[in-house]
Amino acid sequence: MNKKINYRVSKALNRFRHELDEIIESMVSIVFYKYENDILQQNATKLGIKYNKNDEIFQYLNSHKGNNYFYNLLYVNLVSVLEMYFFDIIFENTKNDIYKIEKFVQPTKKVLTDEHDIIEKANNKITRFIFHRIDNVNEEFIKLFDINIIELTNYDDIKKIILVRHKLVHQAGRIGEKKIKVTEIGLINSINKISSWIENIDYYLRNKTPKKRFRNYWYQYEKMMNRFQDSEIYKLYKDDKIYSLYNTNYNNTKYRKHIYI
């Protein structure tokens, strides 16, 4: 007899999905903002926008297109969303289970027997816990849920994402004389890797078996973009296409100051 699948997801996963949707929506806004300047410049006369100072603004915005670091910030946020899932799912699955709360706080130098002390200790631990230290998070999942979350993903991919985040946060994205610059492609690929891992963890918690099918945020990104396919800004985007990044010669002099993710 086949085991019945529990399709009901956790509150933690729902929040996680919502926050990833917000990152994708922010990416769409950034892309359209980038092309909006071109539309304004091309239609300045028709729109009654006089040159002089306005033209200086157009030129300034165009000259800084290659130094857009918004995706770096969204990349950092992606790892924060990952961390908050771990916080939320541990809290959600232990808050009403004193046995699991005890497992979460033990061992400790002082043996706790009073329920109030145990809960207070658990609250202190969870608020101070560093959730991007995945090896430590994995130890807690093994202890609380008997699940090795590292085995539910390509761990090398996750380590790379967290390392890039660390470079962006603590070293201003610098690696030697170069700076990390996150692209649309790098960000969405990383979203897919993080999302698949978390979806797999959440599914495994409910069903004790790995998940087989996962969300594709490339599809979601394109779906959001396609809502505006009748606009002039969208047509500019499609002419340029983010996929042209695949064909960009990053060995050119103007790209040498960046390490692209």
Report the amino acid identity of residue 154. N
- Rounded Cα gap, residues 261 and 72, in angstroms: 9
Report the amino acid identity of residue 211. K
Tokens standing for residue 114: 């009073």
Q: What is the mean pLDDT of the chain?
A: 77
- Rounded Cα gap, residues 232 and 41, in angstroms: 13
pLDDT band at 172 (very low <50, low <70, confident <90, very high): confident
Q: What is the pLDDT of residue 229?
A: 79
Higher pLDDT, 155 or 177: 155
Q: Does pLDDT of 251 surpass 50?
A: no
Greatest mean pLDDT among 36-45, 83-92, 120-129, 157-166: 157-166
- Provide, rounded to the nearest whole percent, the portion of the chain with pLDDT above 70: 59
For 90, 106, 218, the CA distances from 189, given in Å and listed in that order, are 26, 38, 8
- Rounded Cα gap, residues 259 and 181, in angstroms: 6
Q: Does pLDDT of 187 surpass 90?
A: yes
Q: Does pLDDT of 156 surpass 90?
A: yes
H/E stretch holding 259:
strand 258-260
Section 17-36 average pLDDT = 86
Section 12-29 average pLDDT = 93
User: Tokens 């919502």 sit at which residue?
Assistant: 18
- Rounded Cα gap, residues 232 and 154, in angstroms: 41
Q: What is the pLDDT of residue 161?
A: 94
Tokens standing for residue 188: 């969405």
Specify the 3-state DSSP secondary structure of 219. helix
Q: What is the pLDDT of residue 52?
A: 57
Q: Does pLDDT of 95 surpass 90?
A: no
User: Tokens 């800004």 sit at which residue?
Assistant: 233
Q: What angle do CA 83, 14, 123 make, to 5 degrees?
A: 45
- Structural domain boundaries of the chain? 11-25+69-260
